[in-house]
Amino acid sequence: MFNYKNTAIHYTDTGKGNAVVLVHGFLEDASMWQKTAKELAKRYRVITVDLLGHGKSECYGYIHTMEDQADMLFALISHLRLRKISIVGHSMGGYVALAFAELYPDNVRSLVLLNASAQADSEERKINRGRAIEVVKKNSDAFIQMATRNLFDDKAHKKFKKEIAVFTTQALQTPVQGIIAALEGMKTRMDREALLHFGPYPKLMIASENDTIIPIKDIKEQVENTDVSLEIVPGGHVSTIEQFQKVLDILSAFLKKNG
Ligand code: MLT
């Protein structure tokens, strides 16, 4: 545990070498990276962390902005005496990674966004976040069940029944305050497409063909005229489950050059 402004933060730290920080998404926690971290730790020092209000980390406020999460990550890596990191974020974790890269560019060795957009929420999406908050206030378990069900298509539900059950059980641990604070934080996040154009470090985006949360069309547009590498995998939003080996291979190849 690490104490960030009187807020307990849970993290793991394994392996030796250049540092790689793995950042989970909304309703997820550090355990989603367990298998990935074990593989990467053969070559790197791998840090996984529960974001504010997720997993075993406490809530810090009623809105957890992407910048709050990035400041917490910076405090954690400073505590671990790390200077440069490769930062890998899944979905909301990608939004946090972008905020970190903007606030702390000197600390970024490379940046990987997995099923994450560099754009801010559209007006329609902001309205939906507001609606989601109302549902969470009434019945957070029902919201989590619905949200996790929507992350996977029918095929995935059949194929990854066990993994999705574990995912949902873990998501159900997320406290109401943490869920609402994350929804508010995502709703008010900034557009960071400029980083894709000007971030002075190697950048990779991994997108899924059938991602209904982050449409691949948007990602293809975002990488146009940038030096961002784009890798496309089959399946839906949670590529770390649906395409575990492919994503690991892509990450390993990228980190070998840039990690
Ligand atoms: C996530 O998976 O982290 C979120 O669904 C992303 C989002 O809602 O924008």
Judge if the beta carbon of residue 66 lies within 6 A of ligand 1. Answer: no
Domain count, the chain: 1
The Cα-based distances of 192 to 58, 91, 96, 116, 224 in angstroms read: 27, 14, 11, 11, 15
Question: Per-residue pLDDT tens for 59-80?
Answer: 999 999 999 999 999 999 999 9
What is the structure's pLDDT at 12? Answer: 98
Q: Is a pLDDT exceeding 90 seen at residue 82?
A: yes
Average pLDDT, the chain: 96
What is the structure's pLDDT at 105? Answer: 98
**How would you label 177-187 residue by residue, b for 16+ Cβ within 10 Å and e otherwise?**
bbbbbbbbbbb
Q: Where residue 53 falls among pLDDT bands split at 50, 70, 90?
A: very high
What is the structure's pLDDT at 184? Answer: 98
Q: What is the CATH number of the domain that holds 45?
A: 3.40.50.1820
Question: Per-residue pLDDT tens for 131-160?
Answer: 999 999 999 999 999 999 888 888 888 999
ipTM (interface pTM) = 0.96
Sign of CA dihedral 80, 13, 58, 160: positive
Count of CA atoms in the C-beta half-sphere (13 A) of 241: 26
Judge if the beta carbon of residue 213 lies within 6 A of ligand 1. Answer: yes
| Cβ pair 68, 188 in contact under 8 A | no
Q: Is a pLDDT exceeding 90 seen at residue 101?
A: yes
Kindly give the distance from the C-alpha atom of residue 111 to the centroid of ligand 1, in angstroms, as a whole number: 18
Give the Cα separation of 198 and 209 in Å (integer).
26
| Cβ pair 143, 136 in contact under 8 A | yes
Range of the domain at 128: 2-258
Give the Cα separation of 238 and 213 in Å (integer).
10
| Mean local confidence (pLDDT), 41-45 | 98
Q: Is a pLDDT exceeding 90 seen at residue 259?
A: no
Token digits of residue 182: 């994350």
Kindly give the distance from the C-alpha atom of residue 226 to the centroid of ligand 1, in angstroms, as a whole number: 24
